[in-house]
Structure 1
Amino acid sequence: MTKFVSRFVKDESGATAIEYGLIAALMAVAIITCLTAFGPQMKEAFEGIGDSMGNASGNDITGG
């Protein structure tokens, strides 16, 4: 019984999985926060790039 308890205390494989889960959750929160904060600015930038590319090729890439 004492061997089982000592092996259980020394086993750290579950802790590693939890740490990776916490890191992934923190990264998701950071990405969502950045997209929420900078989303409108990024949309305008990409629309400007798309308009420039459409004007350079002579085609309307928006389909309208």
Structure 2
Amino acid sequence: MRGIREFIREEDGVGVVELILILVVLIGLVLIFKDQLTSLVNDIFDTITKKAGKV
């Protein structure tokens, strides 16, 4: 009985669960906005390439 109470009170796994949930949300956002992110990154690299010649 005492071992069950200690197991329930133990909070070591809470940090892992929070980290997994944050990763799931971030991966979901990347999948939802994949096209917009790809377009943004391509625009940024195009701008860098064009302005690199001016330096």
Deviation digits for residues 10-55 of structure 1, max 9, x if unmatched?
Answer: 463xx31221121112111101100001121111111101101110
What's the TM-score, normalizing by structure 2?
Answer: 0.72
Give the number of aligned pairs. 52
* Bigger Rg over Cα: 1
Instruction: Confirm or deny that 1:19 pairs with 2:9.
Output: no
Report sequence identity in percent.
16
What is the match of residue 33 of structure 1? 28
What's the TM-score, normalizing by structure 1?
Answer: 0.64
Q: CA RMSD in A?
A: 2.2
Structure 1 unaligned residues grouped into runs of 5+: 59-64
Instruction: Confirm or deny that 1:51 pairs with 2:13.
Output: no
Displaced runs of 4 or more, over 2 A: 8-12
